[in-house]
Amino acid sequence: MITRRAALALPVLGLAALSGCGESQTTGEGEARERLARRWYGLYSHRTLELWRVPAPPPASWGVFVKLNSDIGDGRLTQHLEQGLTPMVTLEPWLWEMGRGDAENAGFTLERLLEGRHDEALNRIAKSLSELGRPVFIRFAHEANGHWYPWGVGNNGNTPGQYRAAWRHVRDLFASTTNAKWVWSVNITQWLREPQPLAPMYPGADLVDFLACTGYPRYGASPSQTFGPTLDELSTLGDQDVIITETGAPQGDGQISWIRDLGNFLAETPRIRGLLWFDVGPPAASADYRLDQEASQRAFAEAMAAGGMG
């Protein structure tokens, strides 16, 4: 789990109107379709795309965090779309004022969500994303097998059944958002304090377009050691393609070698359709994952080429 800050977010306020962006509807659409037609990589970053200096094909996706009080009407998603980037919208059912100390907040449990307490905000978000008229990924209530969010299974009395029901409830609210692909993203399992089995909380193939996981290396683990056990467990749930929805290696002596190993791992794991690199440093992340040096940028480009991404 990584600490995320509002710099990667869509700003706070109401979720009004993206409908005024229709005149730019076709800009970047061909590029986006072409990039997603093959295996791809994406980014979370404070940089603009123009400042992404990695000598590789352009990213296909750009990650943004949206919460119940986010404003997605500021044009940022439209800008991404015009650049040929498909947004990876991490939809977190809590507020921007909340953080790691609020994992036990009783106002944002799965029970409250199922009671419809947040339907008004979710309906606004659904309407705004639908009005984009272009494909988006939605990663709803991610990392629910961890202990750091109020929707986590095992927190606040949340049960696997409630989590599955919450997914179905939100999918029903977003029924008109037909441009969305839904991404079920767990945290890698092997380093969790009390790992929750994935099968009981899996929403089901009818609700999930992509299986996914978040994972960062620890204890000197290789990419295969980092992701392998979780991918094995996900493979028992469905045959959808997989997205690594967040990853990164900290700056330092080991970053380049881990990136090179990542290229080999991707080449050996063709089921991985996409990968998003967390190109962010403190205070927005718990470590510095940015690719700031020419050597790390070149290694990343070579790894994406070796892995067939982009």
Domain of 301, CATH number, reads 3.20.20.80
| Cα diameter, the chain | 52
Q: Is residue 22 part of a domain?
A: yes
- Kindly report the pTM of this predicted structure: 0.93
Residue 26: its pLDDT value, please? 61
Asked if residue 194 belongs to a domain, the reply is yes
pLDDT at 75: 85
Q: What percent of the chain has pLDDT over 70?
A: 92
Neighbours of 189 (CB within 10 A): 19
Q: Is residue 106 a part of any domain in this protein? A: yes
For the stretch 155-197, pLDDT in tens is 999 999 999 999 999 999 999 999 999 999 999 998 998 889 9
Domain containing 200: what range? 6-307
Query: Is 290 domain-assigned?
Result: yes
- The pair of structure tokens assigned to 251 is 């700056």
pLDDT band at 154; cut points 50, 70, 90: very high
pLDDT on residue 76? 85
Quick check: is 1 in a domain? no
Residue 187 lies in a domain: yes
CB-based contacts of 7, cutoff 8 Å, min separation 6: 46, 284
Q: Which residue in this structure is represented by tokens 């962006």?
A: 21
Nearest residue to 77 (alpha-carbon basis) of 39, 133, 13: 133
For the chain, the first-to-last Cα distance in angstroms comes to 26
108 inside domain:
yes
Handedness of CA 41, 44, 48, 53 (dihedral sign): negative
* Alpha carbon distance 295, 289 (integer Å): 14
Provide the token pair at 73.
């009407």
* Positive or negative: CA dihedral 227, 232, 238, 240: positive
- pLDDT tens for residues 7-41? 466 544 333 322 223 333 467 999 999 999 999 99
| For residues 132-150, average pLDDT | 96
> Could you tell me if residue 128 is inside a domain?
yes
- Provide the residue type at 285 as one letter: A
Per-residue pLDDT reduced to its tens digit, 45-82 = 999 998 899 999 999 999 999 999 999 877 889 999 99
On whether the CB atoms of residues 50 and 79 are closer than 8 A, the answer is no
Check: CB of residue 88 under 8 Å from CB of residue 63.
Answer: yes
Average pLDDT, the chain: 91
Q: Which two tokens stand for residue 203?
A: 């929403």
Q: Are 46 and 280 spatial neighbours (Cβ–Cβ below 8 Å)?
A: yes
Instruction: Count up the domains in the chain and report the number.
Output: 1
Residue labelled with tokens 């299986």: 211
pLDDT at 294 over 60: yes
Which uninterrupted H or E stretch holds 200? none
